Amino acid sequence: MQDVKAEEIETAESTAIENKEDNRETVLKVEDVSMLFNLSKEKNDSLKEYILALLKHKLKFDEFWALQDVSFELKKGDRLGILGFNGAGKSTLLKVIANVFKPTKGKVERKGVLAPMIELGAGFDPQYTGYENIYLYGACLGYSRKFIDQKIDDIIEFSELQKFIDVPLKNYSSGMKTRLGFAIATIVEPDMLILDEVLSVGDAKFRKKSMNKLKALLEKNVTVLFVSHNVEQVRSLCNKAIILDHGKMLAFGDSEEICNQYEEMTNS
C-alpha cells in the first residue's frame, strides 16, 4: 500500500495531466475503514442464552473483520471499479460508503447527493403497491414530494410497469422489482452513484437500457463506484480501480494497471 502511494505521488509530480486532476474536488474520502462482524451473534438471540453465556464468561465473539484499514480518495468524476473475489468485502465496503453500516474503525467523508443502488429488488414493502412504494422509497432516497410528483410518470414509464403499478409488490417478479428500483434510483441526477453488481441482472433488454442510462449519467460527470466481476466492464467504464482481498485493500490506482493485476490474480 505504501508503494502504491509513493508511485502515485511520483506520477502526480511528473505528469501535467495528473496536476490538472489535483485541482478537482475530493468527493469521497475513506480513511482506515475497518468493519467487524460478530458471527456468533445469531446464537445469542434469546435472553436466557445471553445471561447463561454472560455468567459462564462465554461471551467471546466469533470475530470476522470484513474490512481492514481500507483507505482511498476519489475526486469528482472519478469512476471506481471495485474488484475482488467473492467474500472479499466489496458489498460491505459499498454499504459503509452508503452509510448503511457505520464502520467499526475509521471514517468516511462524503460530499454531495449519494444514490445507492444496492440490492435493487429489495427494500420495498410487499403489501404496498408499486405506486406507493415509489413515494416511500423516493422519500428514503432524499427526494421531495414535489420532485416525486413531477417525476412519477417518468419513473413508471422507464420501468415499463404501467399495467402493474397499482399491484402490491409481493406479486411482482424479481425482474420487475429490479426495474422499479433502478427507475426510482436513477431518476435523479446524483453527485455520486454506488452500484452493487446491478449491471449484471435483468434481461438483455433491461441491461441495455440500464447501461444507456448509466452512460448518460456518466457524461454528466457523476462520480461512480461499482462492484463488478467483469474486468472488461471495469476497463471500459472506469478510470480508477481497487482490488479487495479478504477485507484488505491490495491495490488502488489507474484502472488499466489494476485490471491487469486482477487478471493475473485470477489466472494464477
Partner 1 sequence: MDQNRFLQNRFILSELVKKGIRLKYRRSYLGIVWSLLEPLLTTAVLTIVFGTLFANKDPKFPVYILSGRLIYSFFSQGTTSALKSIRANSSLIKKVYVPKLLYPLSCILFNYIIFLISLIVMGLLCVIFKVTPTWHIVEALIPLFNLLLITTGCGLILSTVGVFFRDMEYLWTVLLMLVMYASAIFYKPERLLNSGYGFILKLNPLYCVISDFRQCVIYGKSPYFHVYSLYAFIFGVVSIAVGLWAFKKNEDKFILNI
Residues at the site binding partner 1, with contacts judged by CB under 8 A: 37-38, 41, 45-48, 50, 95, 98-102, 116, 118-119, 122-125, 127-128, 132, 135-137, 139-142, 144-145
Cβ-based nearer residue to partner 1, 223 or 255: 223
CB of 63 to partner 1, least distance (A): 12
Cβ-based nearer residue to partner 1, 222 or 238: 222
CB of 50 to partner 1, least distance (A): 7
Residue with cell 511520483: 10
Q: Which residues are bridge partners to 225 per DSSP? A: 80, 194
- Nearest Cα neighbor of 3 from 261, 266, 267, 263 is 261
Cβ-based nearer residue to partner 1, 184 or 259: 184
> Given its phi and psi angles, is residue 84 left (phi above 0), alpha (psi -120 to 50 degrees) or beta?
left
Q: How far apart (Å, rounded) are the C-alpha atoms in residues 255 and 224?
A: 13
Going by the DSSP 8-state scheme, the letter that residue 162 receives in this structure is: G
The amino acid at 227: V
CB of 218 to partner 1, least distance (A): 22
| Cβ contact 213:198 at 8 Å | no
